[in-house]
Amino acid sequence: MSGFIIGLDQSTQGTKGLLFDKEGHLIAREDEPHEQKLGPQGHISHDPNEIYGNVKKVVTRLLSKNGIRTGEVLGIGISNQRETTLAWDHQTGKPFCDAVVWQCARAEKICRQISEEDGDYIRKHTGLRLSPYFPASKMAWILQNCTSAREAAVRGKLCLGTMDSWLCFKMTEGVVFATDYSNASRTQLFDLHSLSWNDKLCQIFGVPKEALARVQASDSLFGETRLDGLFDRPVPIHAVMGDSHAALFGQNCRQSGQMKVTYGTGSSLMLNTGGRLVESEHGLVTSIAWKAGGRVEYVLEGNLNDTGAVVSWLKNGLGLISSAAETEKLAFSANPEDMTYLVPAFSGLGAPYWKSQARALLLGMNRKTGRAEIVKAALDCIAYQVTDILLAARQDSGMELLQLRADGGPTKNRYLMQLQSDMVKLPVLVSETEELSGAGAAYMAGIALKIYDDRRIFAGLCHHTYRPQMRERTQKERYEGWKEAVRRAFQDINT
């Protein structure tokens, strides 16, 4: 009997539907973008109903275009944009406001009002530095600014959650309000030591604990869905993970010491530390990779606010390119001696600096700096930022790092990938499977449903390897120039 697993990757820019057969081969993919709502104060929002509607669209097209009967779908795995935060009515399923996107720093004032002592407590118990990046302060902002959400909290009808919780709730018609360990660990409300919601953290942020989702294993059953009548029988949702965690799983970085970077709108570098919870002293955060097979695994992670978003800025903000594909040729054609640096702090800088007030900076130009050199600087800053995080992960973990696995759309760019290998001075293995977040969720669901054998499913992974080529002196000069540019970007907020 034929059968298929669907991986749903609900990302920052849109929703992807991936169709896998019973051998784990990718058969088809469908994408549906959603609106990026930019407010006058720099607020970034998404429409939750539009996103759920897009889930139904991509699944419908996957089935219809490929002649798949609904009864042939055996399971669904979900990966999601993390930290994006929503509030909705538990009874009606109606959102109280648009989702606050992970990039949005509107809760910065709330974070500034939290005491240093409480900030230390937050970091000790969650592994996360106090930042408007994480959902706790976003939830606090919603409660402070949305009257209907506050009223629902009083009535005991408020749901506060991340995108995975919203999708599971909608897909199960309100039956399941749950999240997994990976997403919970990113909220700044989940205690990594007790593995539960922390009462004091909820009190610090003013978030009612009873409004939070049930936390369950990443490979557990998150209910069944007919997707509003699309399926003729209930289909189990049997894996949920944050997108970066799902990509780590999809890259088969399931052993301690293995590391990957996912390039997207923002980027995430993760180092698997196994069952060892490593507290960062160098600007990274500690999270849970997943709970699967009854075992909790931890990671060290650094998140970058603007990586692929920098390329979008070149296209939509400056008009220097008409598509991302142009950047590779332009960067290769640029003057290699040009020392223009872009510090892409369009929404502050994340790890390892944690400067939410930092602003973007372009410096080092001369009379000969032109379009190609600015495009090159935009790609360079992606590789430099990832290098910052990798060096911090090496210092925190004390591990010998042997390679860096890479995935995501920007890995198609040969200039960027070669520079990344040169900067980290390690082989960079680029997955030939581009969408590993959705794939990782599908693999986990298939394994949990005993459709996939975990040894066979990962045996077919293919990579293209980039190896360091740059002279050590050149590498050192270029990276030191980057560090100086970052220091310059901080001058205005430090004075």
Predicted local distance difference test score (pLDDT) of residue 9:
96
- Rounded average pLDDT over 415-426: 97
pLDDT tens, position by position, 259-274: 999 888 788 899 999 9
Predicted local distance difference test score (pLDDT) of residue 67:
92
pLDDT at 353 over 80: yes
Beta bridge partners of 331: none
Give the pLDDT band of residue 347 (cuts 50, 70, 90). Answer: confident
Mean pLDDT of the residues in the chain: 93
Distance separating alpha carbons of residues 105 and 107, to the nearest angstrom? 5
Predicted local distance difference test score (pLDDT) of residue 492:
65
Residue 135's nearest CA partner among 116, 147, 122, 154 is 122
pLDDT tens, position by position, 454-472: 888 887 777 899 999 999 9
Q: Is 232 exposed, middle or buried (0-12, 13-18, 19+ CB in 10 A)?
A: exposed
Predicted local distance difference test score (pLDDT) of residue 494:
55
* Other CB atoms within 10 Å distance of the CB of residue 153: 18
Give start and end residues of each alpha helix (H) in 156-228. Answer: 163-171, 181-184, 199-205
pLDDT at 490 over 90: no
Distance separating alpha carbons of residues 288 and 184, to the nearest angstrom? 9
pLDDT tens, position by position, 130-143: 989 899 999 999 99
Give the pLDDT band of residue 1 (cuts 50, 70, 90). Answer: low
Amino acid in the structure at residue 468: P
Predicted local distance difference test score (pLDDT) of residue 357:
79
Share of the chain above pLDDT 70, in %: 99
Through-space distance between the first and last CA atoms of the chain, rounded to whole angstroms: 68
The helix (H) or strand (E) run that includes residue 446 is helix 436-448
Predicted local distance difference test score (pLDDT) of residue 139:
98
pLDDT tens, position by position, 2-34: 799 999 999 988 999 999 999 999 999 999 999
pLDDT at 495 over 80: no
Distance separating alpha carbons of residues 215 and 240, to the nearest angstrom? 11
- Rounded average pLDDT over 347-360: 83
